[in-house]
C-alpha cells in the first residue's frame, strides 16, 4: 500500500457489511462452511466487499467499528428501541467473533464501546480525524448520511459488488434536497421501522421530507403550526413528545470515548499472517483478490 499519497481514513460499518454478506448467499440456501462444518459465508462475503471498496477508494488507513451489545443508551431512553429485531441466524453467530480475528490479521483495528452503537463510534472518529484527512464511511445504512461534510463522505453499498453511491454535501442535496443535519429531523418525524421508534404516527417519508424542505427544522415546523393542514397539525400535536424523542434517537452521538490510535489504522498487510488465516478458514482463493503474495 502506497502511503505517500494523500492520507485518508475508511471507517467500516462492520455489522452492516457482515449481515449484507451473510444474506447475499444465505437466501439461496447455500452456506459456505469449512471441512469441520464451521460456517464462513458471511466472512467470505465480508472480505470480498471490503477489499473491493479498498481497491476502489484507496484509503491509506482503515478501521472497523462494531456494535458491542443490544443494550445502549438509546434503549435506556426508549425501551422498545430495536425491540423488533429477530435473533441472528444460527449460522451467523459463530462468524461474529471469527470476522474480528480476520480483520485483526489484516492489521485493521476492531473498535466498539459498550453502551454505544457502531454509528456513534463512526461519528466520533469522523469528527476526530476529519480535520486532518478525508474520511470515508462504508456502509449500507442511510442513517449515516447525517455525518456527511466537506471532509467526510458516506459510501453507500448498493445491490451487487462494486456498486456504490458516494454522498457528499452536494450529492445529498441533489438527491434528497436535504442538508446532513436535516436527515435527523426527517427521521424524527417519520420514525424508523428498522430501529423500532415511531416518530409522528401517520407521517411518512414523503410528508416528512416536504415539511423539512419547507420549514428547514422541526423547530421551524413547530413555529409555523398555523400554516400546516389540520390533519398534519393534529398528528404532530398528538405525538409531540415522541417527535422529540425520535429525533434524539436518530441523532448519532459523536463524543464516544473510543480509543483509536490513527497510526494503528495504517493499512499494511502482512502477507504471511493473512495467508495463514485464509488457509485456516479454507478461503485461500481470496488471496489473489486481496493481492496477498503466496508464501513459498
List, by residue range, all CATH 3.40.50.1010 domains of the chain. Answer: 8-175+253-289
Inform me whether the pLDDT recorded for 3 exceeds 60.
no
Average pLDDT, the chain: 93
CATH of 8-175+253-289, one of 3.50.90.10, 1.10.357.10, 3.40.50.1010, 3.40.50.1980: 3.40.50.1010
Range 178-250 classified under CATH 3.40.630.10: no
Q: Which of 67, 70, 76 is nearest to 117 (CA)?
A: 67
Give all strands of the β-sheet with 110-111 in edge-to-edge order: 110-111, 61-65, 8-13, 134-139, 152-157, 164-167
pLDDT one-digit tens code per residue, 220-278: 999 999 999 999 999 999 999 999 999 999 999 999 999 999 999 999 999 999 999 99
pLDDT at res. 294: 63
List, by residue range, all CATH 1.10.150.20 domains of the chain. Answer: 178-250
pLDDT one-digit tens code per residue, 222-234: 999 999 999 999 9
Amino acid at each position: 500500500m502506497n502511503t505517500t499519497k494523500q492520507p485518508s481514513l475508511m471507517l467500516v460499518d462492520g455489522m452492516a457489511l457482515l449481515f449484507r454478506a451473510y444474506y447475499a448467499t444465505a437466501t439461496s440456501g447455500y452456506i459456505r462452511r469449512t471441512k469441520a462444518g464451521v460456517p464462513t459465508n458471511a466472512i467470505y462475503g465480508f472480505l470480498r466487499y471490503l477489499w473491493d471498496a479498498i481497491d476502489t477508494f484507496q484509503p491509506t488507513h482503515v478501521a472497523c467499528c462494531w456494535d458491542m451489545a443490544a443494550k445502549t443508551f438509546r434503549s435506556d431512553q426508549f425501551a422498545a428501541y430495536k425491540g423488533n429485531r429477530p435473533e441472528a441466524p444460527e449460522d451467523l453467530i459463530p462468524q461474529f467473533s471469527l470476522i474480528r480475528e480476520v480483520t485483526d490479521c489484516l492489521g485493521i483495528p476492531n473498535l466498539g464501546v459498550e453502551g454505544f452503537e457502531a454509528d456513534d463510534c463512526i461519528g466520533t472518529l469522523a469528527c476526530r480525524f476529519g480535520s486532518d484527512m478525508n474520511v470515508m464511511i462504508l456502509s449500507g445504512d442511510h442513517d449515516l448520511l447525517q455525518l456527511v461534510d466537506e471532509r467526510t463522505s458516506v459510501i453507500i453499498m448498493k445491490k451487487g459488488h462494486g456498486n456504490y453511491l458516494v454522498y457528499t454535501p452536494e450529492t445529498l442535496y441533489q438527491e434528497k434536497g436535504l442538508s446532513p443535519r436535516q436527515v435527523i429531523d426527517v427521521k424524527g418525524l417519520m420514525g424508523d421501522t428498522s430501529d423500532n421508534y415511531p416518530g409522528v404516527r401517520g407521517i411518512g417519508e414523503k410528508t416528512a421530507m416536504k415539511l423539512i424542505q419547507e420549514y428547514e427544522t422541526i423547530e421551524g415546523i413547530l413555529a409555523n403550526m398555523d400554516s400546516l393542514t389540520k390533519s398534519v397539525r393534529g398528528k404532530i400535536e398528538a405525538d409531540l413528545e415522541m417527535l422529540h424523542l425520535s429525533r434524539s434517537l436518530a441523532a448519532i452521538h459523536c463524543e464516544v470515548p473510543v480509543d483509536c490510535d490513527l497510526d494503528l489504522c495504517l493499512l499494511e498487510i502482512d502477507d504471511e499472517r493473512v495467508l495463514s488465516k485464509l488457509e485456516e478458514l479454507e478461503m485461500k482463493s481470496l488471496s489473489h483478490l486481496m493481492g496477498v503474495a503466496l508464501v513459498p
